[in-house]
Structure 1
Amino acid sequence: MASGGFMGETADEHDQDETGERVEDIVDRLRQLRAADQQRRKHAEAGVVLDQLDAVEERLLAFGRALGGDPDDVAALPFTEEAGRDGMAEPLYVRHDRTLLNQVTSWLLQRQHIGLISGYGTGKTAFREILKRDLGRRDDFVVAHVDNPRETTPRGLYETVLRGAAEAGFEIDPGNYWQVRDGIPWATAETKQAVQEIAEDARAEDVTLLLVVDEIEDLPSDLLSAIQIAGDAGVRLFLSGTPAGKERLQDVKATLDSRLRYYEGIDPFDVEDIAEYIARSLAHFRGEAYDGESPDLFEPTAIADIHERTGGNPRDVRLECRELFTRAAFVWHRTGQDVERIRITPELRHRRFGMGR
C-alpha cells in the first residue's frame, strides 16, 4: 500500500520548517539571542554608570583646578582626607580641645598609662596620628602602634613593640633566647620576655616606650591580656576607644583599668573650629600655608548650618563639607560662572540638579 500524508517522514524531517532548520535549532538560537541581548543590556547599563562616574570625576577635578589646586584624582580634593589611612597631614589638624592636649601631654611626661575615651568620629584617630608623629620625633620616646588590633595576636603585639624599639636602636640579646629570626624570638613566651628586656633597656636610658592601640571596644580578650602584660613589663600604654571600650576594660581586665588615667569626651568643633578646618583644608589643597584667615567659598551661614547639622562632630563636619563642595562643583559646571562667583550657602543643600548640560 502506498504511503500518504506524513506517514513516511522521519522525526527529524517532521521537526524541520520550510527553511530546513530544526525546531531545536531555532529554540537554541532564540535563547542565544536573548542571552546576548541581556548581556548587551547589562553592559549598556554598566556603561552608563561608568560614563557618569568618569564625567563626575572630571568635573570635580576641573572645579578643584579652578580653585587653585592641582588634583590628579578625587582623593586629592578638599575634605577627602582620612585620618587613619596614610597619616593625617599636620596642617589639617585643628587643635580645638586645649584641655585634652594639656592633660594628655602632662600624663605622657609623667609616664602614665592613658585611656582616651570618646564617641565615633570625634577625633580620636586624628589625635592618635598627631601623637605618633610628634612623639616619634623625640629622642626620649619610642612609639609602637598596632595597625589592625582586631586581627592582631598576642605574639603580633609583642613583635610590634620589639620592631618599634629596634628601629630606635634597642635590640635584644639573641643569646637569651632559643631561636631568633630577624631580631624577634620565635616562641610567643620568649617574645613576651623580650618585651620586658627591651623596656628595661629603654628605661635605663630614660626613654619611654609607648604602645598605641585603638578600637579597644573590639579587642579579643587574649589581646587585652597581652596589652596588660606589656604594661606590666614597663611599656607605657595609650589606649583609645568608645565608652563601650572602657566598660570592656573594666569587665575583662580590672587591674589594667585601674592603672589607666582616662580622658573622656573630646570637645566637639564649634563654629570657629569648623571655619578653621575648612580654611586649613582649602589652603592645604592649594599647597598654601594656613594663615588664620576665614575660608573662602563657604559663606558664614553655611558654616553655621554645618555646625547645627553635625553638632560639631569632626567626622560629620568633614562629610558635610565634602557634600557641599561636590554640589558647588555641579553648580559651577552647569552655570559656567567664574569660580570666584561660586559661593556655598545652606540653600545649596536643597538644590536638585543633574550633571547633564
Structure 2
Amino acid sequence: MGETVDDHDRDDEVGDRAERVVDRFRQLREDDRKRRTHAEAGVVLDQFDAVEQRLLAFGRALGGDPDDVADLPFTEEAGRDGMPEPLYVRHDRTLLNQVTSWLLQRQHIGLVSEYGTGKTAFREILKRDLGDRDDFLVAHVDNPQQTTARGLYERVLRVAAEAGIEIDPDNYWQIRDGIPWATAETKQAVKEVAEQARAEDVTILLIIDEIEDLPEDLLSAIQIAGDAGVRLFLSGTPTGRDRLGDVKATLDSRLRYYEGIDPFEVEDIAEYIARSLSYFRGEDYDGESPDLFEPAAIVDIHDRTGGNPREVRLECRELFTRAAFVWYRSGQDVERIHITPELRHRRFGMNQ
C-alpha cells in the first residue's frame, strides 16, 4: 500500500520541527561565538548577558514580548510600584469585606500580618481603587522611615490641593508653594483641609506602611493627623502593633485592627500563576488552569511555602528560571517544557 496524504503531512511536520531545532542551535552557537569574542568585558558581566538573553528568549517563546528580565512573570516585587491589579488574587474575602466596611464607616484601620503575606499588594490595590472614587482622597507617604513630621503633613495638604481643597492663606504667617512654612502651622492646615473635606463628604485617607520601623516622632505626627480628621490606614507586622501600643497607646486604641491575612491555598497559587502568565502575554485572565506548571508542581510550591504569597512568587520565579535553562539546553519546542516538582532539585548552569 502506498503512502497517504496523512503520511506526507506527518513527514512535513517532522521535517519542519527538525529544521526549527537546527536553526535554533545555529543561532545559539552564533550567540556563544559573539559572547566569547567580547569576553574581555569580564566573566561575571559576560554571564549576566548570556543568562539575560536566554531568559528573554524563553519568555518570547512563551508568547510574551519582554524588553528586560523585570518584564518576565513572577518578578513584580522587584519594582517599587507593587503588584499590578490583574495579578491580585482575591483569596481572603473576609479581609476585603471587613476593611471595606470600616472604610465606609470612616474608621482608623490597622492591618497586621507577617512579612510576605500580601500587605503591600493589598495596599497598592487600595490606593488604586479608592483613588478612582470621588469620595476618597488617598495620601501615601513614600519611605516613611525617612519622612519628617512636616513632610507627612505636606503630603496630606498636596493631595487635598490637587482635589481642589486648599487652605486660606490669610490664616498663616508664611506660605511656600501653597504649604505653610512653619511645622506648627502645617498641623493647623491639615485640620483645615480635613474639615473642608468632611463638609463635602470626602474622606482623606493616609496610608502608612511598616509601622514596626517608624520613628517615634512620625508616630506622633500620624496621631495628630488622625486627631485633625484624616482617616488612617496603618499596616505592619504583629511586632509593629506591639510597638505602637507601647509607644503610642492612644493611637493604638483608636485603630480597628484586622489581624492575619489568609495564606494561599493550592487553587490560589494556580490562579496566581495563570494570572501571571496571562498578564505577561498581554491576555485577559480567563479562569483557566495555568500551562507550563504541572499540577503536582503547584502542590509542591504550596507545601514548600505554606502559601505565603511572597514565598510563592519567589518559588515560581526560581522554577521559571530553571525551566528556561531546560529549554535552552534541550532545544525542545517550548510546548514540551513542563515544570514538575523534580525540576526544583536539578543542578545545572545556563552554559552547560
Could you say which TM-score interval applies, normalised by the shorter chain?
A: 0.7 to 0.9
320, 323, 336: which one aligns with 1:325: 320
Cα deviation, 1:6-49, whole Å, max 9, x if unaligned, reads: xxxxxxxxxxxxxxxxxxxxxxxxxxxxxxxxxxxxx9797111
Letter in 2 for 1:228: Q
**TM-score where L is the length of structure 1:** 0.87
- Alignment partner of 1:306 is 2:291: no
1:9 corresponding residue in structure 2: none
1:5 corresponding residue in structure 2: none
Letter in 2 for 1:317: V
Q: Aligned in 2, Cα 1:84/1:120: closer, same or farther, shift over 3 Å?
A: farther
User: How many Å separate the matches in 2 of 1:210 and 1:139?
Assistant: 13
Match runs of 1:47-86 below 5 Å: 47-82=42-77, 85-86=80-81
The answer to whether the 8 Å contact 1:84/1:129 transfers is: no
1:238 corresponding residue in structure 2: 233
The answer to whether the 8 Å contact 2:82/2:120 transfers is: no
2:331 corresponding residue in structure 1: 336
Match runs of 1:1-357 below 5 Å: 47-82=42-77, 85-357=80-352
User: How many Å separate the matches in 2 of 1:354 and 1:260?
Assistant: 51
Shift in Å, 1:216: 0.3
User: How many Å separate the matches in 2 of 1:44 and 1:89?
Assistant: 38
What is the aligned length?
315
User: How many Å separate the matches in 2 of 1:272 and 1:330?
Assistant: 27
Q: What fraction of aligned residue pairs are identical, expressed as a percent? A: 87
User: How many Å separate the matches in 2 of 1:169 and 1:85?
Assistant: 28
Shift in Å, 1:83: 7.9
The answer to whether the 8 Å contact 1:185/1:191 transfers is: yes
The answer to whether the 8 Å contact 1:83/1:129 transfers is: no
User: How many Å separate the matches in 1 of 2:349 and 2:139?
Assistant: 48
User: How many Å separate the matches in 1 of 2:161 and 2:104?
Assistant: 22
User: How many Å separate the matches in 2 of 1:84 and 1:199?
Assistant: 32
Secondary structure of the residue aligned to 2:206 is: strand
User: How many Å separate the matches in 1 of 2:309 and 2:295?
Assistant: 18
Shift in Å, 1:88: 2.3
Q: What residue ranges of structure 1 are gaps of 5+ in the alignment?
A: 1-42
Q: What residue ranges of structure 2 are gaps of 5+ in the alignment?
A: 1-37
User: How many Å separate the matches in 2 of 1:224 and 1:301?
Assistant: 47
Secondary structure of the residue aligned to 2:232 is: strand
The answer to whether the 8 Å contact 2:76/2:82 transfers is: no
- RMSD over aligned Cα, in angstroms? 1.3
**TM-score where L is the length of structure 2:** 0.88
User: How many Å separate the matches in 2 of 1:247 and 1:50?
Assistant: 45
User: How many Å separate the matches in 1 of 2:163 and 2:243?
Assistant: 33
User: How many Å separate the matches in 2 of 1:238 and 1:71?
Assistant: 35
Shift in Å, 1:231: 0.3
Letter in 1 for 2:341: P
User: How many Å separate the matches in 2 of 1:129 and 1:166?
Assistant: 22
User: How many Å separate the matches in 2 of 1:44 and 1:61?
Assistant: 21
Shift in Å, 1:271: 0.3
Letter in 2 for 1:106: S
User: How many Å separate the matches in 2 of 1:85 and 1:356?
Assistant: 32
User: How many Å separate the matches in 2 of 1:277 and 1:49?
Assistant: 33
Cα deviation, 1:184-204, whole Å, max 9, x if unaligned, reads: 100000000000000000000
Letter in 1 for 2:159: G
Give the structure with the higher percent helix: 2
Cα deviation, 1:237-288, whole Å, max 9, x if unaligned, reads: 0000000110011101111111100000000000000000000000000000
User: How many Å separate the matches in 1 of 2:263 and 2:139?
Assistant: 28
Letter in 1 for 2:343: L
User: How many Å separate the matches in 2 of 1:238 and 1:356?
Assistant: 49
Cα deviation, 1:94-138, whole Å, max 9, x if unaligned, reads: 001000000000000000000000000000000000000000000
The answer to whether the 8 Å contact 1:149/1:213 transfers is: yes
Shift in Å, 1:86: 2.1
